[in-house]
Copies of this chain bind each other. A is one copy, B any other.
């Protein structure tokens, strides 16, 4: 099963339901500009007249278009401020092959300052030639695991996650399985990128996460998952879906803390952690139903996965139920909606 957000431009398309992700990206923008201005050492790249950027897990836009534009602009300023000729830019938009690249590619701005390309495939494996990238970026994508950890679906395992669809409020064994899968996936990710990013090249990762020490169950993203699980159990009780169906479904996502990320980066050894920040919380606020917005965003991001497992028929009811339960809950007040900003620098290893 590969993650795919909803394509096109319809009511539940990712294009029209990604403002939450954009909120965090806006907060990250300043940090990225600072990093490029102060820390990017363009002397490292003097042998190349092309500056290559990628967005890993780009979806269909519009967020990726803004993010890439920002990086290109900031790098251009940097070259100019140091008296160098502006390089040519090539931007690679990556996502799983099932992503709706048609929507993305037809909405790129005609006056863009870069050569664009779409790269299909999982970012947990190699996607680019050796030493061909100068700046890798990934926003709200690296919490997606390559798969649900096998044990949590295995009835005979002590980590079987019966009656739940995620790890928060589950047994320690379940939490450990998820954390181990995350560490393994991140190791694959960092190893692939280590080969693709040139020495001195940057990598910026933005992920929904949680502050050190915060219990999983208090991260807002986990609270939403918990409520989603309870909606499915309600539907099982009503006989709309079977309990078996719920037991065989788990969400393939994990939300890490800064400490966990730091440990993974250090163990890998190919990148130096230049900066890590908790981004200001981007909890939706305004004159609208936050439950509705959150439910629609989840739907835009994950509907495909639910359709595949539970069937198309239940989708409307499921996300309606989620919307209502979210509005009745207090998670927007009590949950922690942190995102992590991580800046890595590819270093020469010995």
Contact partners of A115 in chain B: CB under 8 A? 119, 126-129
Q: Are B118 and A108 in contact (CB under 8 A)?
A: no
Residues from chain B with a CB closer than 8 A to the CB of A50 are 129-130, 132
Q: Which of A98-106, A153-161, A208-216, A274-282 contacts B (4 or more CB under 8 A)?
A: A98-106
A92 at the interface (CB under 8 A from B): yes
Note all chain B residues with C-beta closer than 8 A to A100: 102
Interface size class of A (residues with CB under 8 A): 20 to 34
Cα-based distance from A126 to B116 in the complex (angstroms): 11
* B-side contacts of A90, CB under 8 Å: 128-129, 132
Closest to A7 in B: B102
A131 CA to B117 CA, complexed, in Å: 17
19 additional contacts (CB under 8 A) given A49-B130, A102-B102: A50-B129, A50-B132, A88-B129, A88-B130, A89-B129, A90-B128, A90-B129, A90-B132, A92-B117, A97-B105, A97-B106, A98-B106, A101-B101, A101-B118, A105-B120, A106-B120, A108-B120, A117-B117, A118-B119
Most-contacted residue by chain B among A50, A121, A129, A130 (CB, 10 A): A129
Please report the C-alpha to C-alpha distance between residue A118 and residue B121 in the assembled complex, in whole angstroms: 12
Distance in angstroms from A72 CB to nearest chain B CB is 13
Question: In the complex, A50→B131 CA distance in Å?
Answer: 10
Please, which residues of chain B bring their CB within 8 A of the CB of A101? 101-102, 105, 118
- In the assembled complex, the CB of A9 is this many whole angstroms from the nearest CB of chain B, namely 15
Rounded to whole Å, the gap between the CB of A79 and the closest CB of chain B is 15
